Amino acid sequence: MSALDDVLARTRAEGRAALVAYWPAGFPTKSQSIAAIETMVAAGADIVEVGLPYSDPVMDGATIQAAAGQALEAGTRISDVFDVVQASVAAGAATVVMTYWNPVERFGVDKFAQALAAAGGAGLITPDMIPDEADEWTEASDAHGLNRIYLVAPSSTDARLAMTASEASGFVYATAVMGVTGGRTSTSSLAPTLVARLREVTDKPIGVGLGVSNGDQAHEVAAYADGVIIGSALINCVLHADSEAEGLAQLTRLTKELRTGVERD
Q: How many CA atoms lie within 13 A of 110 on its CB side?
A: 5
The active-site residue out of 5, 46, 49, 226 is: 49
Q: Which of 91, 100, 99, 149 is nearest to 120 (CA)?
A: 91
Non-local (6+) Cβ contacts of 108 within 8 A are: none
60 has catalytic annotation: yes
C-alpha 132/C-alpha 197 separation (Å) is 21
DSSP states of 44-74: T-SEEEEE---S--TT--HHHHHHHHHHHHT
Torsion angle, alpha carbons of 205, 209, 215, 218, to 10 = -40
Give yes or no for a contact between 201 and 237, defined as CB atoms under 8 angstroms apart. Answer: no
Greatest alpha-carbon pair distance for the chain in Å reads 49
The active-site residue out of 60, 80, 226, 263 is: 60
38 has catalytic annotation: no
Catalytic machinery residues: 49, 60
